[in-house]
Amino acid sequence: MPERIAVVGAGAVGGYVGGHLTRLGHDVVLIDPWPEHVEAMRAQGLELCGLTDEERCTVPVRALHLTEVQSLAKQAPIDIAFVSVKSYDTEWATMLIRDYLAPDGCVVSLQNCINEERIAGIVGWGRTVGMIAALLAADLYAPGRIRRTAAKGGGDHAVFRIGEVHGRITRRVARLAEMIAPIDTVKATTNLWGERWSKLCVNGMRNGISAATGLSGNDLARVDPVRRFSIRLGGEAVRVGQALGYALEPIGNLDPEHLARAAEGDPEALEEVEARLLAVSNSGVRSDLQRPSMGQDMRKGRRTEIDFLNGFIVDKGRGIGRAAPAHAALVDIVKRVERGQIPARPENVIDAAAGLPR
């Protein structure tokens, strides 16, 4: 019998994955809190597009408002529930779907931040799986419309990573990878926590800066002092992750140790890291429309995930006596922009970087 799948949070990432799983013939229900988005999906399907014409499609999907989730009680239970909401919504979203899970059903965290512990606190560690969208870059730009702003394939770096919290490759992880493979490149990983922290390093270098400056993803690398601040953020995050004992994977296309040394002033490492960041920004791998998710949130007037990204790095570093001053400075800036105290502009991080200790 085919798996029954629910996606709680059918935004940019959840909607992209859930829409393509539907297109591939899986039994999927999309659940979302934005009424206009749900109604648009019902009326016209979910429109998905990317950087090529071949990626454009409109998929008839089954979509539910939050108030309609109770209707799942009259249907067969859910085998796989993807939770793809903002980190601050993780607990209620997991609680929402928990009662509709099959006895051996699982919840998959398809989110930017490290939320597996929050999910496990509600459904148990044995029913918690992690899934990382490493190079997806998607945007819910209008109700019922999601565009991907990065090229498919990921080069040498698989776009999706799926793993168990205990690090073994299980039947369900292998099955999840099999389901996701037709959407894009995927890896079943034995290193979920290292993968998670490595993605956190990437997000920590880009998301908050986009929110604080208003810059697009490519422009983050093109403005020299902003790029240097991003490198400083990456190096701090790497050192905290190493101190926590994580086996770090490449940070995008960067070697973690080279990134940390670049942030600490090693001239050769800095030259290499800057060249790689600039090469990606000018390669066409991602569209100039691409904007990290926190930058999108700031533009839409939504609450940001700064406490769960850069703030999380600060908190974890503080717990082991490893300071992350650049991340702490960025958290403060983003919160001030979020409250309307200052506008989003590059000078915010340029000025902050100038005041950081070396």
* pLDDT tens digits along 58-107: 999 999 999 999 999 999 999 999 999 999 999 999 999 999 999 999 99
Output 258 or 286, whichever has higher pLDDT. Answer: 258
Are β-strands 46-49 and 78-83 bridged in parallel, bridged antiparallel, or unpaired?
unpaired
Q: Where are the domains of the chain?
A: 4-190, 195-354
- Closest C-alpha among 303, 112, 134, 325 to residue 237: 325
CATH class of 4-190: alpha beta
Does the pLDDT value for residue 166 go beyond 90?
Answer: yes
pTM flag (> 0.95): no
Does the pLDDT value for residue 288 go beyond 60?
Answer: no
* pLDDT tens digits along 113-163: 999 999 999 999 999 999 999 878 899 999 999 999 888 886 667 899 999
- Distance, in Å, from the CA atom of 121 to the CA atom of 106, rounded to the nearest integer, reads 13
- Closest C-alpha among 216, 242, 204, 227 to residue 327: 204
- Distance, in Å, from the CA atom of 10 to the CA atom of 93, rounded to the nearest integer, reads 12
- Distance, in Å, from the CA atom of 34 to the CA atom of 186, rounded to the nearest integer, reads 29
* pLDDT tens digits along 45-61: 999 999 899 999 999 99
Task: Give the mean model confidence (pLDDT) for residues 288-313.
Answer: 89
CATH topology of 4-190 equal to that of 195-354? no
SS (H, E, C) the chain: CCCEEEEECCCHHHHHHHHHHHHCCCEEEEEECCHHHHHHHHHHCEEEECCCHHHCEEECCEEEEHHHHHHHHHCCCEEEEEECCCHHHHHHHHHHHHCCEEEEEEEEEECCCCCHHHHHHHHCHHHEEEEEECCCCEEEEECCEEEECECCCCCCCCCEEEEECCCCCCHHHHHHHHHHCCCCCEEEECCHHHHHHHHHHHHHHHHHHHHHHCCCHHHHHHCHHHHHHHHHHHHHHHHHHHHHCCCCCCECCECHHHHHHHHCCCHHHHHHHHHHHHHHHCCCCECCCCCCHHHHHHHHCCCCCHHHCHHHHHHHHHHCCCCCHHHHHHHHHHHHHHCCCCCCCCHHHHHHHHCCCC
* Other Cβ atoms within 10 Å of 293 Cβ, number: 25
- Residue 229 and residue 349 in contact, taking contact as beta carbons nearer than 8 Å: yes
For residue 249, how far is the Cα from the chain centroid?
16
Does the pLDDT value for residue 356 go beyond 90?
Answer: no
| CATH number assigned to the domain covering 195-354 | 1.10.1040.10
- Distance, in Å, from the CA atom of 95 to the CA atom of 100, rounded to the nearest integer, reads 10
Residue where the block lists tokens 């004992």:
245
